[in-house]
Structure 1
Amino acid sequence: MLIDNLKAFTAVATAGSFSRAAEMLHLTQPAVSKRVAALEEELGRRLFDRIGRQVSLTEAGRVLLPQARRILLDLEETRRLLDSLSDRVEGPLVLATSHHIGLRRLPPVLKAFARQYPAVELDIRFMDSEDACRFAEQGLVDLAVVTLPERPSPLLSCRVIWDDPLVPMAAPDHDLTRGDVTPQRLNAHAAILPPSGTFTRGLVERAFLPLGIAPARILETNYLETIQMMVGIGLGWGVLPLSMGESLQRLALEGLTMGRSLGWVTHRERTRSNAATALIRLLEAQRAMSGRLSEFPPMG
């Protein structure tokens, strides 16, 4: 039973899609399908039902999934234990991060890391913070650098590296930039926000609730850069990190304070490879530069 076939199977089961699994593994979709088919042939069991674009585990797939994850975790744990016996920083490092953090926060850290540790095979996987945390919890990535959940799983260790204040913004020529901003005026215009169910949308909604902010029309997109573009061309007002306010105008509303924490996440019980430890050390240097002094408080 090839390890690569088990990795393909668990990736499809986790992502619920062959195409998303292919993106995660940096493979083509046919390659992922071929590996899953080879595993099904070896076991003599169909592992997924494929109905249209829907992919779901069969009974055999549901039985295999926890066993496959345990096999992969045991192999990774063995590799890390052996690697940690030496001081060498080398080998694979699977890093999950969001597009926003990967574009705006990580470049100087990764540049320094690549220069200092050229023997590390860095595998960067871009995904939503929610998926990255789930992957870390399942042991599918070594490290995630993401928007931190307010109530992290007890299986995860989380550490704040950057504070990320969020503010409502609009294009300079938007109607909301003229006169006082009130909840009623915000509600009368389209809002552009991250999708429901995301960490960022949840904290925004909790900040909106006591002020009675409930826009009648909401446009959703996963990418903050897309929200910035849509707000900039006047399709609505949006909530963005303060650091993305270039060419936009902040909408000041008394009593509205929003912010999220960005940082790293690992499985609490997973042995860290020397490569993961080295990257965390560089991230901690960023934390020290930003003046952070306290641990991310456990919640939940």
Structure 2
Amino acid sequence: MDTHALQAFIAVTQQGSFSAAAEQLFITQPAVSKRIALLEEQLSVRLFDRIGRQVHLTEAGRALLPRARSILRDMADAVREVSNLTGDVSGPLRIGTSHHIGLHRLPPVLRAFTHSYPQVQLDMHFIDSEEAWEGVLQGDLELGVVTLPPVPDSRLRSVPVWQDTLVFMAAPEHPLAQEREVTLAMLTEYDAILPSPVTFTRRIVESLFDRHRLTLSISMSTNYLETIYMMVSIGLGWSVLPATMLDGAVRELPVATALPQRQLGYVMHPARSLSNAAQHFLHELERHNNL
């Protein structure tokens, strides 16, 4: 079974279209169609239903998907294990990380790593932590540098690197910023601006209020912490953000109830053999460990 055809199959599945898959693979759309047709011919089944501009997996396609990912993961592991024998630190390194970590935590790590190992081609994907976590689980990414889930998941190996203190914050002119002490109940009387419900950070905040049987009033949601910070700074609501984002434009609210600590770190697949490049990148991350 041709690995290029399997790569095209997975790309079409992820993107939902042949044209988007072609962009992801840096090939033409006819080339993607040819690879899928070859795979369907080899298996004597139809893998996709083409409805309008969208494509959907058939039952046969859904059955093939986990096996295709496993085959490609095993092939990549074999290539890495053979390459690792040379001791060279080179080749591609696919990493997924969040925009916030990429802006506030990774610059010194990336600077030191690229200076020490210029032969490594860093393929950085700036995506949500949850998406990066899933990318590592599916074998699309070798490493994820992410907000770690509040409840550990044994399917991936998670290693904390940074403690990320979360604080309640609002603009200086917000009514809550004028209070000497703020309770969780008082917070529910004002609009909150929080990350989307699928994020680990949102789960941390919601679980805190759920334990006190309180209902949040959420006016807006976005996954970009810098966007939340901007909306908070102009007085549109309060939020929960990393303490590293505190400055003159926002103020920490005097909330008596402490927030759980958020941990940032890396995730890797326990069944995957890491490349030399990935191993040295993890060494660099550990050098910046503040725990």
CA-to-aligned-CA distance 1:3-28 (integer Å, 9 cap, x gap)? 344224323434657788678x475x
Aligned-residue offset at 1:70:
2.0
- Name the residue aligned to 2:187: 186
Partner SS, residue 165 of structure 2: strand
Relative distance call for 1:190 and 1:95 in structure 2 (3 A) is same
**Distance in 2 (alpha carbons) for counterparts of 1:55 and 1:187:** 43
Relative distance call for 1:100 and 1:49 in structure 2 (3 A) is farther
**Distance in 2 (alpha carbons) for counterparts of 1:214 and 1:32:** 50
**Distance in 2 (alpha carbons) for counterparts of 1:213 and 1:182:** 11
1:262 aligns with 2:264: yes
- Name the residue aligned to 2:35: 39
AA at the equivalent of 1:276 = A
Aligned pairs for 1:213-228 within 5 A: 213-228=214-229
Relative distance call for 1:151 and 1:165 in structure 2 (3 A) is same
**Distance in 2 (alpha carbons) for counterparts of 1:189 and 1:169:** 12
CA-to-aligned-CA distance 1:269-291 (integer Å, 9 cap, x gap)? 2111100000000000011xx2x
- Name the residue aligned to 1:167: 167
Aligned-residue offset at 1:109:
0.3
1:155, 1:269 within 8 Å by CA — same for their partners in 2? no
Partner SS, residue 269 of structure 1: coil
Partner SS, residue 146 of structure 2: strand
Q: Does 148-157 or 257-266 show the bigger shift?
A: 148-157
**Distance in 2 (alpha carbons) for counterparts of 1:113 and 1:166:** 28
1:193, 1:201 within 8 Å by CA — same for their partners in 2? yes
Aligned-residue offset at 1:114:
0.6
Count of residues in Structure 1 that have an aligned counterpart in Structure 2: 285
Aligned pairs for 1:64-213 within 5 A: 64-179=64-179, 180-213=181-214
Aligned-residue offset at 1:141:
1.1
AA at the equivalent of 2:123 = D
CA-to-aligned-CA distance 1:68-98 (integer Å, 9 cap, x gap)? 2122112101111112112210111111111
**Distance in 2 (alpha carbons) for counterparts of 1:159 and 1:168:** 26
- Name the residue aligned to 2:243: 242
Relative distance call for 1:106 and 1:200 in structure 2 (3 A) is same
CA-to-aligned-CA distance 1:45-74 (integer Å, 9 cap, x gap)? 543345567653112321321232122112
Relative distance call for 1:248 and 1:53 in structure 2 (3 A) is farther
Relative distance call for 1:239 and 1:21 in structure 2 (3 A) is farther
Partner SS, residue 155 of structure 1: coil
**Distance in 1 (alpha carbons) for counterparts of 2:49 and 2:263:** 39
Question: CA RMSD, aligned part only?
Answer: 2.4
Gaps of 5+ in 2: none
**Distance in 1 (alpha carbons) for counterparts of 2:252 and 2:31:** 50
Q: Alignment partner for residue 287 of structure 2, among 257, 281, 285?
A: 285
Aligned-residue offset at 1:259:
2.0
Q: Does 146-155 or 171-180 show the bigger shift?
A: 146-155
AA at the equivalent of 1:67 = R
Aligned-residue offset at 1:151:
3.0
Gaps of 5+ in 1: 293-300
AA at the equivalent of 2:229 = Q
1:192, 1:238 within 8 Å by CA — same for their partners in 2? yes
CA-to-aligned-CA distance 1:248-273 (integer Å, 9 cap, x gap)? 10112112323211001111121111
2:97, 2:127 within 8 Å by CA — same for their partners in 1? yes
